[in-house]
Structures are given as C-alpha cells and as structure tokens.
Amino acid sequence: MIHSLFLINHSGDIFLEKHWKSVIGRSVCDYFFEAKEKAVQPENVPPVLQTPHHYLISVYRDKLFFLSVVQTEVPPLFVIEFLHRVADTVQDYFGECSEGVIKDNVVTVYELLEEMLDNGFPLATESNVLKEMIRPPTILRSVVNTLTGGSNVGDTLPTGQLSSIPWRRAGVKYTNNEAYFDVIEEIDAILDKSGTTVFAEIQGVIEACVRLTGMPDLTLSFMNPRLLDDMSFHPCVRFKRWESERILSFIPPDGNFTLMTYHVSSQNVVALPVYVKQNISFLETGSCGRLDITIGPKQTMGKTVEGLTVTVHMPKTVLSANLTATQGNYTYNLATKVLVWDIGKLNPQKLPNLRGSLSLQAGAPRPEENPALDITLKIQQLAISGLKVSRLDMYGEKYKPFKGVKYLTKAGKFQVRT
C-alpha cells in the first residue's frame, strides 16, 4: 500500500526518507515540487497527485509535508489518516512535530516508522503499543542511557498487540490513581455584516487522562445525552452499550487519549457568547481606511470570557495600521498582512474597542471586499451546549480512584464577515 515516505520542509528540502518496499528515487518528488510551485500557498497543494508511475499523497502539518508514494489503488483517506497518525505520534513522543525535533531524534523516528508499517500496511499505530516497544525520550532516561549504555528500545515485547484490547498495556501500576475528563466544546459560527448568525454549531470533544492501576472498566454517563447528535468514539468504547443505554462503557487506554467527539444537534439554538460591532471602510480617495471594532458579551451564563483575540487578514494593499485599543494590544504584521488584536479578558462594564485608520498603497484601487474577522475565545467551567457528566463508575478494580471533570468552551472557526 504505502510504498515510501518523504518528509519535506517548508523550503522544499527532503530531510528524511523511508522505504517499506524497494527503494524509490527522490526524483519522484519533483512532480510534487512542481505542484507546490504552482500552488503558491502550501495549503493549496492538492493532497493527491498523479505521476506517470506513482501516485503521491501528501499532508501538510506544522509546516512540514509528509509525502507518501503509492503505486496501486488504495483509499486515499487510508493514507492520509495514516500520515496524520505519524505526525501525531511524533508530536506525542517529542512534544512537537518540527524539522528540528525529527532531525534530533532521527533514529527514534526511524524505529517508529519501522514499527508502524510492515510492507506498507499499518502494523502498530496505537501509541500505547509503540511506547512499549520504543520508549519516548526523557531527560532522565537519556542521562541514564549515556551512563549505562542502555537504550530506548524496550526489551519487553509489546503485549498490547496480542490482546483484544490493543490500546491498553498489561501491568499498569500507579500510586495515585486518577481519571480526568475534559469536556471541550467549540463553537463554529459565521456572522454576517449586520451581526446576524448565518451559521452556528457546536462540536465537542472529551479528552481523557486516565492513570489507573490494573484493568479498570469505566462507565461514564451524562445528565442529558439527548443533546448529542452525532459522535465518534475511541475504539475502546462499547458501542452496543451506548446504543441501548446511552452510557459510555470502556476499558481506557493508559494515559492521554480522546474518548469521543460529538456534534450537538442542530435543533438547539446555539448561544453565542459574544457579539461584535464592526465598521471597516476604505475610502475612495486618499488611499486610507477606517477600522472600528467593539466586542461585547452576549450569552455567557455568568462566566467570564477569556483569551479573546481578533485576527484580521487584511487586503494586500494595506500598508500599515494606526490604531488605538482601549484594552489589550494589537500587532500588524507587514509581511503576512495579518492584524492581531489580543484582548484577554472581556470586561462587561467596559467594552474593549479598537479604532483608528489604515493606510493603503498609494494609487492602488480600493479593496472590494472587507476582510473577515476571526475570533478566538475561551470560557472556563462551561460547556456551552449544556452537556453535563452525571457520574463516573469504575468496576474491576478495588481501589478508589480520584475523579475529575472539567468543562471548557472555545471558539472554533468563528468568523465575522464585514
């Protein structure tokens, strides 16, 4: 299936290659570079390309291209999903996925790739299994290794791969047994010029961090499962149980994992936490423009809105911005033409406002479209859909674990058209 993998950095250098079948020369990447040249923006490179003898399927993540070479028919999503899994694994192991990190840990990355695919077919992609075979580097371990000549490759063999629950390794032990669940909801919305909602929906995800000894069997139930419209689960969740009782029943993986993602049914009206008043205009003459943005709280359920930022992708002709912010500060990047206004906490008594003038390239025509505003925000201890976890029970083990649930609301793709 997957024949070879090339990692390519932003400037187009191949800095890692791996072949699972016979070797394919680097020249195959030339077709990709050609497409990259044509696309201008790296995001615009088509993910699937055809060359005379091969097919190239690539993903772009963290300023790196993961380019795989395929020779025969294969579901493209299969390859794309796998490439993202590779990036996730690198991220998981080294904390970030960048050229520098991969170059520093090239041997570990190579060992990982070796285990993840056999003859181009995924073998072990479960992070728990991989970590048993190849331990992620820690400072302590690297010190010990240099002193004793030990290695990062586990001498135990991956037991997880054999069991029917490959996501959990055997013999897990903790002194503090704890299970934390974060319910994170994101609001996707498009508001039009006048502030009316064109489109709004809520997407949620439950991230878990479970450190429990032995083989615990957990059940998690909600106060109002009816809110959930569509969801996807980690393979550990027993689907039948959910279908019949609307209860999440599972033997958790060890460590951090995504338990489920869900979509809140569209019947419910989405409560938007903020409103935006904006006025951006470019004058016909004098090559300048005005900008005035005010943000206020709308439906915040008594919680404070934090981490508020506004990002504006200005038209290419905007040279500089001369603005004053009543709260927070703003930066205008001349190269990328991106204006970022970092507000921080939203104070309902004194609404933050950003206003001033924009200067445009002299002689250039007035931009036709006003730039859209992208908004990010965070609200702690609130799931905006109203979803609530009612209880978490553990079976199969005798000890009493420490349990915790946290809620968080964020702005996902929150865009205001102007």
Partner 1 sequence: MTPVERGAEDVYLSRMSTGASYNDQGGAEAAVEAGQESTPTSSGAGAGAGAGAAFGLFSTDFKKNEDLKEMLESNKESLKLEAMKRVVGLIAKGKNASELFPAVVKNVANKNIELKKLVYVYLVRYAEEQQDLALLSISTFQRALKDPNQFIRASALRVLSSIRVPIIVPIMMLAIKESAADMSPYVRKTSAHAIQKLYSLDPDQKEQLIEVIEKLLKDKSTLVAGSVVMAFEEVCPDRIDLIHKNYRKLCNLLVDVEEWGQVVIISMLTRYARTQFISPWKEGAMFDENNEKAFYDSDSEEKKDQMEAKTYIMDPDHRLLLRNTKPLLQSRNTAVVMSVAQLYWHLAPKHEVTIVTKSLVRLLRSHREVQYIVLQNIATMSIQRKGMFEPFMKSFYVRSTDSTHIKTLKLEILTNLANEANISTILREFQTYVKSQDKAFAAATIQAIGRCATNISEVTDTCLNGLVLLLSNRDETVVAESVVVIKKLLQTQPTQHSEIIKHMAKLFDNITVPMARASILWLMGEYCERVPKIAPDVLRKMAKTFTAEEDIVKLQIVNLAAKLYLTNSKQTKLLTQYILNLGKYDQNYDIRDRTRFIRQLIVPSEKSGALNKYARRILLAPKPAPVLESAFKDRDRYQLGTLSHSLNTKASGYQELSDWPAVAPDQSVRNVEVIEPVKEWAPLVGKAKQRKSDEKFYSDEEEEKEEEGSDSSGSEDSSSSSSSSSGEALCLFVCLKVYVFCLVTFILFRV
Site for partner 1 in 336-355 (CB under 8 A): none
Return the range that interacts with partner 1 (CB under 8 A); candidates 170-178, 234-242, 276-284, 322-330. 234-242
Handedness of CA 18, 19, 25, 31 (dihedral sign): negative
Instruction: Measure the CA–CA gap between 416 and 53, rounded to whole angstroms.
Output: 45
Q: Using an 8 Å Cβ cutoff, are 344 and 327 in contact?
A: yes
Q: Minimal distance in Å, beta carbon 224 to partner 1? A: 19
How far does CA 386 lie from the centroid of its chain?
Answer: 23
What are the structure tokens assigned to 264, written together? 């809140």
Q: Minimal distance in Å, beta carbon 77 to partner 1? A: 4
Measured at the alpha carbon of residue 252, what is the angle toward residues 247 and 253, in degrees to the nearest 5? 150
Interaction of residue 235 with partner 1, rule CB under 8 A: yes
Interaction of residue 149 with partner 1, rule CB under 8 A: yes
Q: Minimal distance in Å, beta carbon 271 to partner 1? A: 17
Q: Using an 8 Å Cβ cutoff, are 56 and 38 in contact?
A: no
Binding residues among 190-229 for partner 1 as defined by CB under 8 A: 190, 192, 198-199, 201, 203, 229
Binding residues among 49-78 for partner 1 as defined by CB under 8 A: 50, 55, 58-61, 70-78
Binding residues among 371-400 for partner 1 as defined by CB under 8 A: 371-372, 374
Interaction of residue 284 with partner 1, rule CB under 8 A: no
* Amino acid at site 254: D
Binding residue (CB under 8 A) for partner 1 from 62, 92, 114, 342: 114
Question: DSSP string covering 247-274, please?
Answer: EEEE-PPSEEEEEEEEEE-TTSPP--SE
Q: Using an 8 Å Cβ cutoff, are 164 and 146 in contact?
A: no
Query: How many residues contact partner 1, by CB under 8 A?
Result: 92
DSSP state, residue 150? -
Binding residues among 249-268 for partner 1 as defined by CB under 8 A: 258, 261, 263
Query: Is residue 41 exposed (0-12), middle (13-18) or buried (19+ Cβ within 10 Å)?
Result: exposed
Binding residue (CB under 8 A) for partner 1 from 28, 67, 94, 166: 166
Cβ closest to partner 1, residue 248 vs residue 382: 248
Interaction of residue 125 with partner 1, rule CB under 8 A: yes
